Structure 1
């Protein structure tokens, strides 16, 4: 390491004093003890100064190296993740489907090599809640889901539920829910109009034009304002609701979903004890037209905020370009791979972090939640892929789950496989091209993680 002029000068004085001390120690009889002490103190002073400069220079160089690495990663995020090896997208999809089916065919049990708190070891609740944004009209659907959550998991642990609505819940809704889960704490919360409603800065002409373009290419819910509001709220607001601010972890549940497997360990303690920030079961491609400018706006943010990039992020998964290259092209560099967020278990402190918060505020100001149809799933997923260490993202292979048309049906003795086809991505034919799991498993998981089940 090359020393600056100040360090060189200090080095000269330090060496000089040390030489003097050595000489005078050899001829110590010619100097007084006071002079000897003075020389020693000065030598120590300059030596300490030199040490401070050295460590400061070392620290500065380390920070520069980290900054340079993040700049390199930023440049790579502007490029496709993979070079073509000559295989067609159809062949790549075929190979990936074979890989995923082989992976899902393996018999599994509870996670291995990881810390688990089984039901018989359970002592106290983690700081966690179930969360559902649900309308009064969806009462029957959410009761169906709650019954299955209780039967497969929560009758062993009794975690609380938090229900959110942009309208007041009816007395019938509340009494019906309380009757279903009498042993659990339940919160019914209304979302303020300031958090839920479309922002005043949205240009209605741009919004109308955007909706028309989305409808022309068949993007679902393009003209439904409440859907846009919901996507925006789940992307940037729910974790700061006054009730949810009291919690760290959440498990999102949706009406009319299916759960097939017994879960005998505390998933929230699993998240905490194994340092996980997010858990998913399904991992798929999005409609590229719905997020045409999301990646470009993300890159605009990152250009001046590379410090937020996690060096061990899931960057290849975000920029994968081979299985569905048209998605990558339409979304301008984003694979559209995302965790299907109608099931997600997460640490809300991740969303509350400076990295995620500042990025999602940037996104909100662009109007993309309304001019396009940015979903909370791709927003959560890009945020996690960029700002979280991918080792902190967990695939819950053992949780059987279905939200039509996709499902996760593990090959496990704990699952009622009479109700779901083992190892399948969907009950319907022709859906495998929409599965992003191969990219995640091949490039963002280690062998140890793949062998955790």
Structure 2
């Protein structure tokens, strides 16, 4: 009997060690991105950014004939690099151009189209022309596209600005910011300079591109029937858009025919991960594509569904009485009126607009940390809305 007790103890110890061995071998080491509530706090990087190949589908790669500078005999499709930029942002624009030309456009020579609400200086034109072999175009925004609409009440606007400032809403007191958001939401694609264009790649001053991209992204969009391409998706500040979703619901009630059967409604209304955001935004998750980078088909904005939606929002006044941005407006429209399978995550395009990154794990990338979302405070990682996109839509 004295010997049995140690034997039982050894047996129990062996059983514990065996269970531990099975756990270490078979238990998953990392949570799934799609179901994680705060994956940046639990794994060192985002494995969905691992990327060593090219997108699926037919590709026109660098080195193909017909991409020399100039318009004659080109294989380029109707597309442009598009920038809304001030003269005083010349140095920041040159930074963005230098990066994108080095990583992509020197291979394909798509034209640059610059927009401003005042004429560009000769210095701006001279230095931007010198930054690319491609054609450069300089366009002035028509006054009726940039001016504050006649139905906006000045007194109500000032009262709204004061309230937004008290709530800490950034840029609330800058009328040019409100005008910019409205122009980017519903006016830019009406400019005559874009009349013959189907696709554009939006490029803002002082952004960075980190990865060599060796295929024609516009041709990829066309050949694979994609409407919109993004790199980063975030949560918005709910205090800047409290009535955007209620106005959207009004519009949907009036036009249920515009809802696409394969929409991304769940992504737009999810309340589990950020319930306070959802409550403050009156039912909207505030998830949106960060539109300082977007590659898109202009025909979507020109569609009757989007035009009617924008006009409804414009008359509601939220571009001025609140701070509705083009990012949530574009994102809601895409999430409701477009087939979600036609929205593409360009995981292979390394990109930064301060303070956020899209940094793939690829040998084609230099100058950013793999999987890094931000170089700022850790709490900013919680602003990443990709987990919800992966959960409800997937990773195209």
Q: TM-score, normalised by structure 2?
A: 0.86
Aligned to 1:333: 283
Describe the SS at the equivalent of 2:379. coil
Q: Secondary structure at 2:307's aligned position in 1?
A: helix
**Residue 114 (1) aligns with residue 57 (2):** yes
Report whether the alignment pairs 1:343 with 2:293.
yes
Q: 1:264/1:285 Cα in 2 relative to 1: closer, same or farther (>3 Å)?
A: same
**Quick one: structure 1 residues 325 and 237, their matched pair in 2 at CA, closer, same or farther if it must change by over 3 Å?**
same
1:355 has 2:305 as partner:
yes
The reply on whether 1:221 has 2:189 as its aligned counterpart is no
Q: Any conservation in 2 of the 1:132–1:164 contact (CA below 8 Å)? A: yes
Does residue 339 of structure 2 align to residue 389 of structure 1?
yes
CA deviation after TM superposition for structure 1 residue 267, in Å? 0.1
Uncovered stretches (5+) of structure 2, i.e. residues with no partner:
1-34, 67-74
> Which of residues 82, 85, 92 is equivalent to 1:131?
82
Does the CA contact (< 8 Å) of 1:290 and 1:372 recur in 2?
yes
In the other structure, the counterpart of 1:312 is 262
1:422 aligns with 2:373: no
Q: Do the aligned partners of residues 122 and 434 (structure 1) sit closer, same or farther apart at CA in structure 2, a change above 3 Å counting?
A: farther
Distance 1:97 1:274 in 2: 35
Deviations 1:327-381 (A, max 9, x none): 1001100011000000100001000000000010010001110000000000000
Contact 2:236–2:287 (8 Å) recurs in 1: yes
For residue 152 of structure 1, the aligned residue among 103, 106, 109 is 103
Q: CA deviation at 1:94?
A: 2.4
> Is contact 1:99-1:438 (8 Å) kept?
no
SS at match of 1:142: helix
| 1:358-437 pair list within 5 angstroms | 358-416=308-366, 419-428=367-376, 429-437=378-386
Superposed, which structure 2 residues align to 1:295-306 within 5 Å?
Answer: 295-306=245-256
Name the CA distance, whole Å, in 2 between partners of 1:161 and 1:375: 24
2:234 partner SS: strand
Cα distance, 1:104 vs. partner? 3.4
Aligned length: 353
- Offset, 1:179: 1.7
Cα drift, residue 297 of structure 1: 0.4
Question: Which has more helix, going by share of residues?
Answer: 1
Matched residue SS, 2:139: strand
**Retained in 2: the 8 A contact 1:100–1:438?**
no
Please give the alpha-carbon distance, in whole angstroms, between the structure 1 residues aligned to 2:60 and 2:321.
45
Distance between the aligned counterparts of 1:222 and 1:369, measured in 2? 10
Distance 1:402 1:377 in 2: 16
Q: CA deviation digits over 1:226-269, x for unaligned, max 9? A: 00000000000101100012100000001111100000000000
Q: 1:443 aligns with which of 385, 392, 395?
A: 392
Q: Secondary structure at the match of 2:63?
A: helix
Higher mean alpha-carbon deviation, 94-103 vs 278-287, is at 94-103
Q: Which residue of 2 aligns with 1:35?
A: none
Q: CA deviation at 1:128?
A: 0.2
Does the C-alpha gap of structure 1 residues 280 and 422 become closer, same or farther in structure 2, counting only changes over 3 Å?
same
Give the corresponding residue for 1:57. Answer: none
Assess if the C-alpha contact under 8 Å between 2:356 and 2:373 holds in 1.
Answer: yes
Runs (4 or more) in structure 1 with deviation over 4 Å come to 95-100
Match 1:169 to one of 120, 124, 131: 120
Shift in alpha-carbon separation, 1:100–1:335, aligned structure 2, 3 A: farther
Q: Deviations over 1:67-112 (max 9, x none)?
A: xxxxxxxxxxxxxxxxxxxxxxxx963257658944335343211x
Distance 1:98 1:104, change over 3 A: farther
Gaps of 5+ in 1: 1-90
